Amino acid sequence: STFYERYHSLEDIYYWINRTTQDNPSTVKAILIGSSYEKRPLYVLKLSLNNRPNKKAIWIDCGIHAREWISPAFCLWFVQYSLSFYKQNQEITNILDNMDVYVLPVMNPDGYKFTWTTNRMWRKNRSVSRGSRSSACIGVDLNRNFDANWCTEGASCEPCSEIYCGAFPESEPESQAVADFLRRNKDSVQLYLTIHSYSQMLLFPYSCSLDEAENHNDLLEMVQEAAQRIRRYYRNTYKYGAGAKTIYLAPGGSDDWAYNLGIKYAFTFELQDRGRYGFLLPPSLISKACNEALLAVKTIALKVIEKT
């Protein structure tokens, strides 16, 4: 199997980031956007395949939840595919001619590291909450820590919970770094994508309430077409719809927050599988999972370019 058909330790991913920027000095830049609770750097790769001025951008983050290993694997896959197939594949060429892409391979490096060393099923980050009553439990769910109906129904204010929302919105350095970067770049970023697993779903706002997004029909049409193409090309089924109505109410998520910031195309992808292996998706299934997600990214990005 190739490098991209395996899972990689955090050290390997940092090495890969370094190597990818060195090997592609004119097209890939690493931007340090902050650091984790345990002081690991948060690097975003900026892919800029041509020098057109005033290009818009796509943001893709992976690894919010530590145990969802297919997610960082997808970010690496996407970068590799973009660099290899620009000028080879018509769709990715069209996308990269019109948009830059920011890729954050691991939003939660401390949690990811912990899943490799200590507890494979860890979800949250690794921050230690203050106060004697709560000091026994570690970690905030970064996808409950953003400022979108923060800590209402579907999140927990109990530090021991797997869906602990943190002490206040953006209390965690990881979510704050991402939010700060997107606030600084909100005029150029038109498409926000966040990659999770598992359950095979393409979700869009809102998850933090039962309200319908103002451009609900556009968003629905985009995920519907993406799911349709995945069914045709890969014979696999993805559910799709607004988060709260498709899975559950879950406030404080990055997609809803990015949407409310003004990034009107915001999606959460839940990659393979539907529960057979769950978070323990075997490496032999990485390529199919990533190709499906890639097709969804392409379908949606092309529609965003068409609409804007």
Instruction: Name the site residues for ligand 0X9 (rule: CB under 6 A).
Output: 65, 68, 143, 196, 203, 207, 243, 250, 253, 255-256, 268, 270
DSSP helix/strand/coil, 45: strand
Torsion over CA: 293, 298, 303, 304 (sign): positive
Q: Which two tokens stand for residue 189?
A: 């970023």
∠ at Cα 55 (50, 61), nearest 5°? 90
Q: In the block, which residue shows the tokens 């020098």?
A: 51
Tell me how far, at minimum, the Cβ of 167 lies from Zn ion, in Å.
21
**Pick 97 or 162: Cβ nearer ligand 0X9:** 162
Q: Does 172 qualify as catalytic in the annotation? A: no
Tell me how far, at minimum, the Cβ of 268 lies from Zn ion, in Å.
8
**Pick 78 or 92: Cβ nearer Zn ion:** 78
Residue 243 interacts, among ligand 0X9, Zn ion, none and using kind-specific CB cut-offs from 5 to 8 Å, with: ligand 0X9
- Minimal CA–CA distance to 269: which of 73, 110, 85, 47? 73
Q: Which two tokens stand for residue 200?
A: 């095979």
> In 40-50, which positions are buried (b, 16+ CB within 10 angstroms) versus exposed (e)?
bebbbbebbbe
Residue 250 interacts, among ligand 0X9, Zn ion, none and using kind-specific CB cut-offs from 5 to 8 Å, with: ligand 0X9
Residue 255 interacts, among ligand 0X9, Zn ion, none and using kind-specific CB cut-offs from 5 to 8 Å, with: ligand 0X9
Tell me how far, at minimum, the Cβ of 84 lies from ligand 0X9, in Å.
28
**Pick 95 or 163: Cβ nearer ligand 0X9:** 163
Q: How many CB atoms lie within 10 A of CB 209?
A: 18
- Minimal CA–CA distance to 104: which of 142, 140, 147, 51? 142
Cα first-last separation, the chain: 39
**Pick 68 or 170: Cβ nearer Zn ion:** 68
Residue 190 interacts, among ligand 0X9, Zn ion, none and using kind-specific CB cut-offs from 5 to 8 Å, with: none
**Pick 3 or 248: Cβ nearer ligand 0X9:** 248
Tell me how far, at minimum, the Cβ of 199 lies from ligand 0X9, in Å.
7
Give dist(CA 24, CA 71) in Å, integer: 23
User: Of the residues 68, 170, 174, 270, which is catalytic?
Assistant: 270
Catalytic residue IDs: 270
